Amino acid sequence: MTIREILTEPNKLLRQVSKTVDKVTKEEQILMDDMLETMYKANGIGLAAIQIGVPKRIIVMDISKNGQENNPMYFVNPVIKNKNKEFSTYEEGCLSVPNQFAEVDRPATCEIEYLDYYGEKKLLKAQGLLATCIQHEMDHLEGILFIDYLSKLKKSMIIKKLSKSKKNSETLVI
Ligand code: ZN
């Protein structure tokens, strides 16, 4: 397994719409293994393939609590079937938007149809953190980031901050 670099905003690749996977092959499984390893290393609970620069509709997640056994989940070509009309609010962050957090409203429950690690068709009924997390990750497949739900002002402030910290780190590398 390989730890891959996580792209951060602003980066045009993160705005790309990811492509449907024709078939889950060894190549996709290796990608999912790398994604999971990369996500754990970064202390994240979810990661979409585009966040490491691969435009495929693939997501890995693990929302188990610290100290609990790992519970990796793999989603290929996920589609939302039912969304609840009730919303719940979580303070969200994102590995591609480092150190920034904001409250986002999303449907409280949803049903997701997807292929698992072995390419088998599955249905997941999600609620709570699981529902929020899978919807956040599925947004990545459409090139959407959680900061897109914020006011224009707040969003541009965050992007400005991130651009600045990127410049600084580049200077340090030299
Ligand atoms: Zn994210």
Output the tens digit of pLDDT for each of the chain's 174 residues.
899 999 999 999 999 999 999 999 999 999 999 999 999 999 999 999 999 999 999 999 999 988 889 999 999 999 998 777 899 999 999 999 999 999 999 999 999 999 999 999 999 999 999 999 999 999 999 999 999 999 999 999 999 999 988 777 655 555
Active-site annotation holder among 9, 137, 142, 170: 137
User: How far, in Å, from the CA of 54 to the mean position of ligand 1?
Assistant: 14
The alpha carbon of 123 and the centre of ligand 1 are apart by a number of angstroms equal to: 22
Q: Tell me whether residue 3 is in a domain.
A: no
Are the beta carbons of 105 and 89 closer than 8 angstroms?
yes
Is 24 inside a domain boundary? yes
Number of folded domains that form the chain:
1
CA of 47 to the centre of ligand 1 (A): 6
75: buried, middle or exposed (CB in 10 Å: 19+, 13-18, 0-12)? Answer: buried
- pLDDT for the residue numbered 173: 54
Judge whether 137 counts as a catalytic residue.
Answer: yes
Burial of 68 (0-12, 13-18, 19+ CB in 10 A): exposed
Within a domain: 125: yes
Q: Is residue 5 part of a domain?
A: no
**What is the 144 CA–ligand 1 centroid distance (Å)?**
9
Q: Name the residue range of residue 140's domain.
A: 12-167
Determine the pLDDT at residue 174: 58
| Nearest-angstrom CA–CA distance, 45 and 133 | 8
46-to-35, 75, 110, 113, 172 alpha-carbon distances in Å: 9, 11, 17, 17, 29
Residue 71: predicted pLDDT: 96
- Whether the upstream peptide bond of residue 72 has omega within 30° of 0, thus cis, is no
Other beta carbons within 10 Å of 22: 9
CA of 9 to the centre of ligand 1 (A): 10
* Closest by CA position to 149, among listed 158, 141, 35, 16: 158
Domain-embedded: residue 2: no
CATH label of the domain that carries residue 92:
3.90.45.10
